[in-house]
Amino acid sequence: MINTVIFDMDGLLIDSEPLWGRAMREVFATVGVELSMEQASHTTGLRTAEVVEYWHNFFKWEGKNSELVTSEIIDSVTAKIVAEGVIMEGLEYILDYFEQKNFKIGLASSSPMRLILAAVTHFGIKDRFQVISSAEFETHGKPHPAVYLSCAKALGSTPLQCIAFEDSVTGMTAAKAARMKVVVVPEPHNRNNKRYALADVQLNSLTEFNDGILAKL
């Protein structure tokens, strides 16, 4: 029986993907790299260090090492989220919905823990999650299922008892690999991506989730 829900954070609960894109482009510019929005979308859902390493191998910049660039991006995104970040439509609705169903509620993100905690604390939702898991502590990030498996275990649930909510193909793949039911809420420009067919349900907003959809999962 499904009794657990695990949420991604960036782009699903918090409208932070544009802020990630801006931060990456600004920091990459300091090493002479111009990263387009289209290029940035190729690494959505990966851990920050993996994103930096990917583009370092592509552009082969000199000056700052990958660790410093990674740290500067995380600092920049964290500051932008606190200063100008907004929640996604349906955030309060979906958390209230599963609380009323007495579901166990977790968060499983590719972001570093210090960024996650800064974000959920800023928006006043930290206490809505019984477990918060970051892929930075796993040997592999999404699309590997490790962070979802760790979160489920910490919640005392099996993967087959879990619904995962995601916005990216990378995250969806991770949750499916963990053998969870997956609900995807893609960004508007990405809703026609055929790869989302792997999900059990695709929505345009968190507000669309209801008892009928839950019953089918």
Residues with catalytic annotation?
Answer: 8, 10
Token pair 């410093």 is found at 68
CA distance 101 to 106: 14
Amino acid letter for position 204: N
DSSP string, 36-52: -HHHHHTTTTS-HHHHH
Q: Are 164 and 151 within 8 A, CB to CB?
A: no
Contact 90, 205 (CB under 8 A): yes
At CA 189, angle to CA 11 and CA 43, rounded to 5? 55
| 194 Rama sector, left if φ>0, alpha if ψ -120 to 50, beta otherwise | alpha
CB 73 within 8 A of CB 23: yes
